[in-house]
Structure 1
Amino acid sequence: MPFGVLAHIGLAPETTYGEPVSAADYIRFASESINEEIEQVISENIMGVVDEAESHEGLHSISGDISGDVYPNVIGHLLRSAFGAPVTTQLSPGVYQHVFTPVQDNFSSVCALPPYTLEVHRDFEKAFQYAGAVVNELTFSFGTDTKIMQFTAAIIAKKLALINKTTPSLETTPTFMWNQGTITLDGQANSDLTTVEFGVNNNLEARATLDGTKEVSRVLRNGARTFPISLTMELKDLTEYNKFRAQNEIPAKIEMIGKAINGGTDKYKLTVEIPKLRYNSFPINVEGTGAITTQVEGSAKYDAASLYAMKITLVNSKASY
């Protein structure tokens, strides 16, 4: 009987969309839901019986989520697929900075963002290889209830093959923890937050064309890219609420500073810069006799001066993505 504890997910960047490559890195993950669905095309012909007519094989579509803890090296692959390729510089021996600024151009004419090949081994005799995989949505969260920083990546892929599994080599660097995070709102450090969630929704759509296959032929945008943000606050006063009422757009910064890299002075770091945070909803209600908290929903808006809505900088020990 297969067991999830023996599963693994490997990945590697593709040069050409949909052309599979062997796994080069491996993601520590908690769960995944990537599946292939096969469209059932039902004939509308009248057959002289009351039963449904014959079925035909339609489009094969692949999608699902991967979720788990955030490790500072391999998470760069998911950021690359969700934001685009980073600008990388070496800070010191064995220490690298990767700046992920959301791209405005497409990776190619048939794929909006950098594609990957995923190998999902589910402890069966064959592993599931998904080629042309792109991160449509990427969400990060941490807080007093989720003390290890988490990610969820929504995947869209092109095609599936069953292959012999590879041998995983998992990242051993320390995860980012809740107590390593600092949040700055409108230039001031904020200590009223209990949970933080942020990310990107690329609004991608898998499309088929008349190319002689039953697979999707391209993954392109079907709407505007958005950057949703959710904050849980234990309010001391109405300072942030008044910014919501005035519909101010304020700068925000989220920074996770982890442990030392290779025993040196540089530390693993993930920094999120938002030039314009806009609060979309800010409910304040009494729900009992305890402390009054609010679940604030907002979004990062594109800033013409900065040329981005959200920028993520990752400092780690990986030389490139």
Structure 2
Amino acid sequence: VEGDFTVPIDFNQIGWLLKGLLKDVSTSEPTTGVYEHTFTPTDDPYLDCFTVEKNLDDFLIIRAINTSIVSMELEAPVGEIITATISLHANKFEKRTSALSPSYPDLSVCTSNDATVTIDGASAKVNAFRLTIENTLGIDESYILGSADYLRPTLNWREGTIEMDLILEDSSIFDKYDAGTEISSLVFDVVGKEISGGYNYELKVTSDKAIITEWSSELRRERLIQSVTVRLLDMTNKLSILLRNTVSSY
């Protein structure tokens, strides 16, 4: 059973999705009521699984059981709210007739205007972007002979890319692409409003091994804007995502 859904990014709620995507997380409290969660890709062959329920109407619910996150795509067109599209794979689904009554928290959202990127010390403003992290699961390998059900799918490998329209101040990032050299430090940062004590909501993606694979040639008179695609390398060892919010644990 496969499916996907799209939601606006909320700094407090996205942590559950990041844990499902990457699994490993450590948490610290730099000041009272402010928490920093660092998510890293697990080397465990099995991701966490969970149950997803969806109301089709007031009387019918679809419940997806033993669900894994296949991919997460964070995206924001110019000046718009950042959204996350989550692709799922579930063991099976069943129908229920008892209605759900979900609660909807106040959202702390952000837009593409809140995003910046720093590549080997050279910073640029992000005009629009799409960041994708994908888990490749061994689904066909997980079936049990003679059974319609299967075990949790194994995690084979991960892939990650960031497509960005950047507002550049100079040619530093282009020089990195032109030389064909790997990036040893990439920081993609989204900063929201202040929580307290000078600490802001924040989502920071850090990769210590990446390479620019595509670079557009479009120039604009008012400012230099380039479309850039970066491939994240060695995801298991070189990727981390820091999430700062008011949630104590995931």
TM-score bracket, shorter-length normalisation? 0.7 to 0.9
For 1:153 and 1:133, the matched residues in 2 are separated by: 12
From 189, 201, 216, give the equivalent of 1:268. 201
Partner AA of 2:234 in structure 1: Y
Instruction: Work out whether 1:242 is the aligned partner of 2:175.
Output: yes
From 105, 129, 136, give the equivalent of 2:44. 105
The structure-2 alpha-carbon separation of the partners of 1:257 and 1:235, relative to structure 1 and needing over 3 Å to count, comes to closer
Instruction: Work out whether 1:154 is the aligned partner of 2:83.
Output: no
Relative contact order, CA 8 A, sep 6+: which one is greater? 2
Give how far 1:121 is off: 1.2
* Structure 1 outlier segments of 4+, above 4 Å: 234-238, 288-293
Q: Name the SS of the counterpart of 1:243 in structure 2.
A: helix
Instruction: Work out whether 1:209 is the aligned partner of 2:138.
Output: no
Partner AA of 1:221 in structure 2: L
The structure-2 alpha-carbon separation of the partners of 1:225 and 1:128, relative to structure 1 and needing over 3 Å to count, comes to same
The structure-2 alpha-carbon separation of the partners of 1:135 and 1:275, relative to structure 1 and needing over 3 Å to count, comes to same
Instruction: Work out whether 1:134 is the aligned partner of 2:79.
Output: no
Give how far 1:289 is off: 9.7
CA contact (8 A) 2:206 2:241 kept: yes
For 1:266 and 1:231, the matched residues in 2 are separated by: 26
Partner AA of 2:139 in structure 1: A
Give how far 1:154 is off: 1.0
Q: Name the SS of the counterpart of 2:63 in structure 1.
A: strand
Alignment match, 1:168: 102
CA contact (8 A) 1:89 1:98 kept: yes
For 2:29 and 2:176, the matched residues in 1 are separated by: 39
RMSD: 2.6
The structure with more strand, counted as a fraction of residues: 2
Give how far 1:213 is off: 3.8
For 1:123 and 1:183, the matched residues in 2 are separated by: 42
For 1:180 and 1:292, the matched residues in 2 are separated by: 19
CA contact (8 A) 1:63 1:157 kept: yes
Give how far 1:238 is off: 4.4
Q: Deviations over 1:189-234 (max 9, x none)?
A: 213x421222311111323534554234331234x31111111235
Alignment match, 2:245: 316
The answer for unaligned runs of 5 or more in structure 1 is 1-61, 107-111
From 186, 211, 219, give the equivalent of 1:278. 211
For 2:189 and 2:137, the matched residues in 1 are separated by: 28
Q: Deviations over 1:30-63 (max 9, x none)?
A: xxxxxxxxxxxxxxxxxxxxxxxxxxxxxxxx11
Give how far 1:115 is off: 0.8
From 197, 209, 229, give the equivalent of 2:130. 197
Alignment match, 1:85: 24
Partner AA of 2:6 in structure 1: S
Alignment match, 1:295: 227
CA contact (8 A) 1:227 1:310 kept: no
Q: TM-score, normalised by structure 1?
A: 0.69
Alignment match, 1:116: 50
Give how far 1:237 is off: 5.5
The answer for unaligned runs of 5 or more in structure 2 is none
CA contact (8 A) 2:58 2:99 kept: no
Give how far 1:95 is off: 2.1
**Largest Rg, 1 or 2:** 1
The structure-2 alpha-carbon separation of the partners of 1:239 and 1:268, relative to structure 1 and needing over 3 Å to count, comes to closer
Worse-superposed segment, 234-243 or 134-143: 234-243
Q: Name the SS of the counterpart of 2:158 in structure 1.
A: coil
Give how far 1:177 is off: 2.4
Give how far 1:118 is off: 0.8
CA contact (8 A) 2:51 2:63 kept: yes
CA contact (8 A) 2:47 2:155 kept: no
How many residue pairs get matched?
Answer: 247
For 2:108 and 2:204, the matched residues in 1 are separated by: 17
CA contact (8 A) 1:141 1:198 kept: yes
Q: Percent identity?
A: 23
